[in-house]
Amino acid sequence: MIVWIYGASGHGKVILDILQKLNVHVAGFLDDDDSLHVFMDYKVIRPAELTGHNFEVAMAIGDNQTRKKVVERSRYNFAPAIHPSAVISANATIEEGTVIMAGAIIQSGCSIGKHVIINTGAIVDHDCAIGDFAHISPGAVLCGNVTIGDCTWVGAGSTIIEGITVGRNVIVGAGSLIREDVPESVLVVGNPQRTVRPVRQ
């Protein structure tokens, strides 16, 4: 199967590296920027130029809301990109288009939604549930039985303790310690955690 990468960016470089390690044939990049024609020695085309049926698309857009908009307007078959060094329990479920990067750990009983990013070295412990289009940043730790809502971004190096629910469309600031449930559509930061402001949807 041929795979195109959607997003000629820094995140795209990481997805390319994963697919190369998996010996996947990468045809090139898709990007909406008309000025881009070559990226990482691969051709870049506009999505409207892509024709045929014998391909899949790996999503390489880091921003949750932008990734969601692109997926919702697309009719592609989305390929997963799971780094071979990731440790994933056979009892975890991972849905379409999700990306799992180097050194990530996903333990037993976890449910990972569609088009989620589990970034480098993130730890998702047993029985966590992560909603669609969420992003768990490098080095973040979700202890057991944590629930993360759709489109939520958990910042680098953050820790969310056991049994906590974080609502949809939340931003958890880097290095935060989350010890209480978080409602939807807020920015929460710090140790102890504090809510800073609402987040637009």
Q: Show which residues are catalytic.
A: 126
Cα–Cα nearest to 65, from 151, 6, 187, 125: 151
Residue 43 corresponds to which amino acid? K
What order of strands is seen across the sheet that includes strand 123-124? 87-88, 105-106, 123-124, 141-142, 159-160, 177-178
Cα–Cα nearest to 118, from 142, 90, 137, 132: 137
Compute the distance between CA of residue 148 and CA of residue 151 in angstroms, rounded to an integer.
9
Residue 52 corresponds to which amino acid? G
